[in-house]
Amino acid sequence: KAGVTQTPRYLIKTRGQQVTLSCSPISGHRSVSWYQQTPGQGLQFLFEYFSETQRNKGNFPGRFSGRQFSNSRSEMNVSTLELGDSALYLCASSGYQETQYFGPGTRLLVL
Amino acid sequence: AQSVTQLGSHVSVSEGALVLLRCNYSSSVPPYLFWYVQYPNQGLQLLLKYTSAATLVKGINGFEAEFKKRETSFHLTKPSAHMSDAAEYFCAVSDRRGAQKLVFGQGTRLTINP
């Protein structure tokens, strides 16, 4: 089975812009979770989608949003980018009540 | 609320020596515990998981971990370190078998000395 894929792998944006990241889960997985990884805050849970519905949400401002499509692919969007949004964004997918498998991440740099 | 504390942000061992990475958790319900490894510029790879079956869990690459409820610990060990084990290791906890919302520790960077 192909693993979790994330696009793009690297991204450079400037403050105030918005960005959309994409995640394709492992075939058959219906749950997709997103995490932000920074040197200062470590790995933090953003949100989880299951069957196109947000099922869990972390403690991030409303500038961070996501969605899931009928084929389980997911996107996350960050609006009005801030310097502090520079991070590695990781997506993970899982089957029903199973372990999460992570993608390689999208590294976002905000200038 | 759940939390994880990894003792030691950096651990250095010699090749062939024992690897011990410490993880303590806090959870108000029976936890599910995980160890992930991250190599440079990569995502997280699952090493092993505890899901309330055997307390001694064996994972990939010769790693294992023991769930100790009284000590609220889930330390990761490997009898003999290899150069390829150099990476960052994360302990994580979840309150549901599905583990869709993981709470991670701050990570431990493991260095292997030749």
The least confident of B15-19, B45-49, B52-56, B89-93 is B52-56
CA distance B80 to chain A (A): 27
% residues pLDDT > 70 (chain B): 96
Mean pLDDT, rounded, for B86-97? 88
Alpha-carbon gap, residue B51 to B71, rounded angstroms: 17
pLDDT of residue B101: 85
Mean pLDDT calculated for residue range B62-69: 95
User: Is residue B84 over pLDDT 70?
Assistant: yes
pLDDT band at B99 (very low <50, low <70, confident <90, very high): low
Q: Beta strand pairing status for A10-13 and A106-110?
A: parallel
Residue B54 is encoded by which pair of tokens?
């055997």
What per-residue confidence (pLDDT) applies to A1? 67
Interface contact flag, A90 B34, Cβ < 8 Å: no
Q: For residue B110, what pLDDT band results from cuts at 50, 70 and 90? A: very high
Out of A4, A42, A100, closest to residue B100 by CB: A100
Contacts of A45 in chain B (CB under 8 A): 101-103
Reduced to 3 states (helix: H, G, I; strand: E, B; else coil), residue B85 is helix
pLDDT of residue B24: 97
pLDDT for A20: 98
Q: Which of residues 55-94 of B touch A (CB under 8 A)?
A: 90, 92
Which chain A residues are Cβ-neighbours of B103 within 8 angstroms? 45
pLDDT at B92 over 90: yes
Tens of pLDDT along B2-12? 899 999 999 99
Of B36, B97, B101, the CB nearest to A48: B101
Smallest CA–CA distance from A92 into chain B, residue? B100
Which residues of chain A fall below pLDDT 50? none
Residue A94 CA: distances (Å) to CA of A28, A35, A77, B26, B99:
9, 14, 21, 24, 9
Q: What gap in Å lies between CA B48 and CA B57, rounded to an integer?
A: 7
Q: Among B60, B93, B100, which would you mutate to test the A interface (most chain A Cβ atoms within 10 Å of its Cβ)?
A: B100
Cα R_g (chain A), whole angstroms:
13
A97: DSSP letter: T
Edge-to-edge strands, sheet with B56-58 = B3-7, B19-26, B73-78, B64-68, B56-58
